[in-house]
Amino acid sequence: MMKTLNAPLVVSHDYAMRGDDGMTKGYWQSSLFGGGHPGGSGLSTEAGSYTAETTPPTANHHNMKAIILSDPGKPSTFLVKDIPIPEPLPGHVVIEIKAFGINHAEMHMRKGEWAEIAEVSGIECVGITHSCPGGEFAVGTKVAALMGGMGRTIPGSYAEYTRVPVSNVASIESNLSWAELAAIPESYATAWTTVFQNLELTSGQTLLVRGGTSSFGLAAINLAVNCGAKVIATTRNLDRSQMLLDLGVLRVELEGLELSERLPEKKTIDAVLNLVGNSVLLDSLAIVRRGGRVCLAGFLGGLAPIPDFNPLLQMPSGVHFSFFGSFHFGTPGFPLSDVPLQSIAKDVEGGRYKAKPSREFKFEEVAVAHKLMEENRAGGKLVVTVGQN
């Protein structure tokens, strides 16, 4: 039996490099992935830190490479495996994946901490339409896809192909690289929805973004600043303040459980986007003015519930509170078509939004990207490219 440790490592078939204790020290990228070298990401793994399994390659042209969870629903490692390319299905789009973003939800899925977990993780991607029986997207169309059950109830984007409901796919023409495009779908679709629909932010208002250096937070700041709002952002590490100031925030605050006690603008702020989670929800409600809005849309601080929450005693009067989960995209109430992904991509391409990924990884380096995120060293959006881009 293979022991599951605290972080995964993808090993390319028989090219694992083993230490004297038999534990994986690093990996050599198989020719099936186009060649490579140990530690190609610039991050190395130390002996004793990881274990992994391998799957023999096949020559079946109807198969694809996928990175699967070793034990979905429980703490897992990542395994490279050959599985069939998805068949065409009415109401769905089969996408040849070119790149995908890494998200915190996928880290919790790997740990077995999510309610629904598919064998193939990944909740977003960009790529090319491979098949679409209904004709909604022509074969060869450049598209972005997010949610629709990906990584939760259907195989996700950690693969060379995926099949997604039509309602969760959008065409997105751009001269951006695949890696740059992959930094947009989940982060910007969710940020746009929370900032402009949940919080109804307008020019001149003041927004507090809790969790500003996350990829979601950076997207929200870009959108808010460019609509003319005044933005204050928080971070757990003030060494990262400059990246927030460069985006146009007025001030950076150290994130903490009692932030409301330190803010001079308490009770005057128009809106709070809470990406930290339940641990600071009550504190966030105490910050906004009467008629102000708080949106809970992240869980950077963990998934634990609020103990003994009593709205009658703890909710301030006259404050609006809402939640948004991106898993609602594609449902009748939250059509993906509401989100102007095409114009956002155009604005990124034109330099209006600073949305380039903080790091790019190769397909076989997914585990290294997860390790970076788990250590809070992402510094923005991590993306993975698939194949030769």
Q: What is the pLDDT of residues 40-89, one digit of tens each?
A: 333 333 322 233 344 444 445 689 999 999 999 889 999 999 999 999 99
pLDDT tens across 143-200, in order? 999 999 999 999 999 999 999 999 999 999 999 999 999 999 999 999 999 999 999 9
Distance CA 143, CA 129 (A): 7
User: For residues 112 and 104, is the Cβ–Cβ distance under 8 A?
Assistant: no
Q: Is 296 left (phi over 0), alpha (psi -120 to 50) or beta?
A: beta
Question: Which residue reads 């003015």 in tokens?
Answer: 289
Of the listed ranges 1-15, 54-68, 287-301, 340-354, the one predicted with least confidence = 1-15
Distance CA 42, CA 183 (A): 20
pLDDT tens across 246-300, in order? 999 999 999 999 999 999 999 999 999 999 999 999 999 999 999 999 999 999 9
User: For residues 380 and 357, is the Cβ–Cβ distance under 8 A?
Assistant: yes
At 77, list the tokens: 């490692």
The secondary structure of residue 68, as a DSSP letter, is E
User: For residues 231 and 250, is the Cβ–Cβ distance under 8 A?
Assistant: yes
Buried b (16+ CB within 10 A) or exposed e, 285-294: bbbbbeebbb
pLDDT tens across 87-96, in order? 999 999 999 9
Rounded CA Rg of the chain: 21
* SS3 state of residue 130: strand
